[in-house]
Structure 1
Amino acid sequence: MSDSFPIPAISLTKNPPVGFSFMVTFLIGGFVPNPLDIRFQRVSGISSTMETTEIREGGENLFSLRLPTRMTYGNLVLERGMVIGSSLNIEFNLAMSTMSFQPGNVLVMLLNAKDIPIASWLFQETYPVTWSVSDLDANQSSIVIDTMELAYARLQSLRI
């Protein structure tokens, strides 16, 4: 095998990474992690899509060109059991009730079995767009879940 061809990452490990060990870090002021609000039970919305514009060339009927125009992102959705006294809940409540937003950064890290980050996603200029609480039901004994949905300006994938 030639040294000029990189070895695919999947062949360097015995098993592919699992998605149940992760950590979410809210970066206050863009830099300092908030240690109080890092535990979530579910993270979704890690995605980006390239929008394209279709151009049809005159006289060419077999195909058209699709040119990239901009990146779009879904919302980052975070779910966790309700936390009493959370500074993150205070920030969300203030933003949602006063329409005063201070965009920040959020770092989601996938961890290996030794709790060492193996992949990360940095969400830049995040702000809350939805905050909901699960149903309260006297017929079920289930944990109350907070769901926080964040819009963001840019997603940077960081592979370690």
Structure 2
Amino acid sequence: MNINLLEPDLLLTHRFGVFFFQAGVLPNMLDIRFQKVSGLQADINMDSINEGGQNLYTHRIPTGASYSNLVLERGLLSRSLLNRSFQDAFSEFRFSPSNVLVTVFNDENKPASGWLFLKAYPVKWSFSNLDASANEVVIETMELAYTSFQTISV
């Protein structure tokens, strides 16, 4: 597959932002910067139905959609509203679902495309290993489940 890197419609993967919208509150500017985003995946679930007397094939019908968890990685921040909501979920089992917008920017740093994740809430929170012999940033990994997502074209 030949890809013309000079094509203006192709978006680069290193220009993106993650925006959390919770209870009408504007996103915290510290909580929009992430090193990596993964889990941008949706699947259609299928069931197979056998037809009586037909042994050559089965009918496959869609039964619903399923979504991968949204996984966000960044350097650990000591003061973060997002960390507070994760702390509430894992320490007090209190959840405040929010909508999350992942936006890809073009070469002029203007929004070009994105995904809106609806009713996202924390399901996993992990940190990189601490190593006294290494001089590395502590990486925080945040995983969110959500009800569905929509693609957005700008």
TM-score by length of 2: 0.90
1:41 aligns with 2:35: yes
Match of 1:78 in 2: 72
Summarize the Cα distance change of 1:121–1:61 in structure 2 as closer, same or farther, 3 Å threshold.
Answer: same
What is the alpha-carbon distance in structure 1 between the residues aligned to residue 9 and residue 42 of structure 2?
26
Of 116, 134, 146 in structure 1, the residue corresponding to residue 110 of structure 2 is: 116
Match of 2:153 in 1: 159
Is the contact made by 1:129 and 1:149 (CA closer than 8 Å) also made in structure 2?
yes
* Gaps in structure 1 of 5+ consecutive residues: 1-9
Aligned AA (2:138):
V
Match of 1:29 in 2: 23
Match of 1:140 in 2: 134
What is the alpha-carbon distance in structure 2 between the residues aligned to residue 75 and residue 52 of structure 1?
20
* Gaps in structure 2 of 5+ consecutive residues: none
Count of matched residue pairs: 149
What value does the CA root-mean-square deviation take over the aligned residues? 1.6
What is the alpha-carbon distance in structure 2 between the residues aligned to residue 32 and residue 41 of structure 1?
21
Aligned AA (1:124):
L
Secondary structure at the aligned position of 2:21 is classed as strand
Secondary structure at the aligned position of 1:57 is classed as coil
Deviations 1:46-77 (A, max 9, x none): 10111011011112222111100011111100
Of 54, 58, 78 in structure 2, the residue corresponding to residue 60 of structure 1 is: 54
What is the alpha-carbon distance in structure 2 between the residues aligned to residue 84 and residue 63 of structure 1?
57
Quick one: percent identity of the two aligned structures? Answer: 45
